[in-house]
Structure formats: C-alpha cells, structure tokens
A = this chain, B = another copy of it.
C-alpha cells in the first residue's frame, strides 16, 4: 500500500480494503494521500509532529512549492532553528482530503468512472480529514505524535485530533482557530462559493472535462476571503489610500494599491488552486461544529484528552477567528480537566499573522515544544 516518491514525501494509496468512511455516510474506496516530511523519525518513534494545513494550504510546509516555485508556507515556524526543527522533529504534513495537491479530491480521477469526480465527490468534513491523516500516520508506523500543530482550519483539525485520537497525542497546538464556524464565517464562504458557481466556466463542476476553468469566479472568491485574513489597521498601514500611479485613472483600473494587491491575490491563487476543492473545503469548514457533535458541550469533546498538553494561541487583530473563539476552546479544555497554555499575541497583522514573521508566535511555540520535548525525552 505504501509508495513513497522522493526522500521527503510521497503518496500513500489506500484501496477498497481500507475505505475512508465519511461522516456523511459515503465512503472513498480509493484514497491517495500526498504528504511531505522533514527530518527523521528517531529510534523510539517519539519525535513525530503532524502539521495540519489551512483552507488553501498544502503539504509543502517548508520546501519549494512545485507549482509556484515559492518557499513553503510556514518557513517561519518550520526549519533549522525554528520551533519545529528537522534536526529534532520528524515533521509530517499531508494535503487534506478534498484538496488539490495530490490527495484525493474533486479534481482527482474517480477510478470507478475514469473521469474527474467533480460534484460526484462526496462532501467531506474536518473529522474526515483527520481520519485520513490518522491512516497516514498509521502507514508511517507512528503510534503517537509528539505534537499535532495547525492554524486556522489546521487548528480545527488539531481540536478534532484531540477529540477523536487523544491517546495518540502527546501535545496539541491550536493557532487562531475556532470550535465552530460562525454565521459571519459561513456568510463569507457562501459569497466565495456563489462567485465560483456564478462563473459560466464552472459548468456545474464539470469544467475539467470540458477543458475550461472558472478562474474569474475563483479569483473573486479569493479576493473576498483575503480581506478577512487581514486586519483593517494592517490594510491601512500597508496600503492606506496610496495610489498605483500619479493621480486617479477616472475609470475602473486599479487606482489604489490595495486594489492592485487584491487583484494579484486573486490572479495568482487560480494558478495553484482548484475551484471545486475550494467549494468542498469551505463546506467542510462551515459544517464544523465540534460541540454539536458532542451533545452541544464543547468540553465533552475533550473528555478523553486529559493526558494531552495543549497550547492555544490567538492574535489580537484576527477578526476571522477572534480571540473570543480561542478563549472558548481554553475554557472547554479547562472544564474537561485538560492542561492548556493560552497566549493572545498582540499584533495588527490579523489572521494572516499565522504565516507571517511574528517573533512572539515563534517564541511561544518554541517554549511550549521545548518544555514538552524535555518531558518526552527528545534530544
């Protein structure tokens, strides 16, 4: 079943003998999971760290992205001398189920039809993503993870890991996430989905078969979402009302730098992301409500996680998943009798601070992971 491609990553294939049973009741009889690893698993298999990526992230955490040629998305946190260091940790990151960077998703070929799934792909959830990750961790021969770490949607997966596989976790780091999607979160995602589905090149999800791509709709979706990743003060500091050129165009060109920046975000996104994956993954986020799956009481989700060391981090200017959400996670962890550190990091960078040069984030992560590493006996 295991077929690695290259020293630092690979694709694991699961066939009908090991289907991924989904929360919806459907199942995936053919599942490929694309992943990257950094560092080496130690002799007693105690140094494995799983990183869970955000909505539009992928497995290329700290190495060059094969499509964009850019450095990995979390070089601030993963690398030599960083909180997650390949010299110490065996770092794993896999593309989520429903994604478009090698793991099975709506753009994959359905082996049973020989055609891309499109909308025939089943709706997936955060628990489904986590179950697939657990299958990967199994296949890599790892029983317990030193840490599962993620921000944004990655943080939701961290919480789901704590709920579903607490016995397989030594520690868990949840950054700028929430235990459920709010009405405003859902609303922004719905705008993005409607933008994609309004694009005539979406073709009811069958664009791949028809040789087109709903690039304009996907770009608009990305632009709307991107605003929610930044804070108003950061936008003001970075762009304010600065113009692209001397003087106004008196038309609909990008007059203001912020317009040009947003257009660039939209245009570059469509080169690396699949529109149907965007639909499916935003849906998974909207469906996420960890308390609801545990009798409406969030603490119940963590009832078996008393042995896990938690670290919860939030950013003061994050209005997508604001600190109040992280506090509700910490309260539930406390109510469940779990050990939890909580740091609210002062920054004007908004939700995007997860991925940016944020020294306090690195310091907090290093402190938490080093303390855990000492208890765990990592060298």
Interface residues of A (CB under 8 A from B): 24, 26, 119, 122-123, 180-184, 186-188, 190-191, 193-195, 197-200, 216-217, 219-220, 223-224, 227, 230, 232, 235-236, 238-241, 248, 250-252, 254-256, 258-259, 262-263, 266, 279, 283, 286-287, 289, 292, 319
Contact = CB atoms under 8 A, between A and B. Distances in A.
A286 B186 contact: no
A29 to B, nearest CB: 18
The winner among A187, A236, A248 for most chain B CB atoms within 10 A is A187
A302 B198 CA distance: 45
Contacts of A187: 223, 227, 235, 258-259, 262
B183 A195 contact: no
Contacts of A227: 184, 187-188, 191
Contacts of A251: 119, 123
Given A220-B191, A224-B191, A287 B248 contact: yes
A123 B216 contact: no
A221 to B, nearest CB: 9
Contacts of A250: 24, 26, 122-123
B193 A252 contact: yes
A301 to B, nearest CB: 16
A193 B250 CA distance: 15
Contacts of A283: 252
Contact of A220 (B182, B220, B235, B289): B220
Nearest to A180: B241
Contacts of A188: 227
Interface of A, secondary structure class, is: helix
A190 B235 contact: no
A75 to B, nearest CB: 27
Given A198-B199, A241-B181, A186 B259 contact: yes
A279 to B, nearest CB: 6
23 contacts: A122-B250, A181-B241, A182-B235, A183-B232, A183-B238, A183-B240, A183-B241, A184-B227, A184-B235, A186-B241, A187-B235, A187-B259, A190-B256, A190-B259, A190-B263, A193-B252, A194-B263, A198-B217, A198-B219, A232-B319, A241-B289, A241-B292, A255-B286
B219 A258 contact: no
A23 B248 CA distance: 11
A235 to B, nearest CB: 4
B183 A258 contact: yes
Given A184-B227, A195-B195, 15 more contacts: A26-B250, A123-B250, A183-B238, A183-B240, A184-B235, A187-B235, A190-B258, A191-B227, A191-B262, A194-B223, A194-B263, A194-B266, A198-B217, A198-B219, A232-B319
Nearest to A260: B190
Contacts of A287: 248
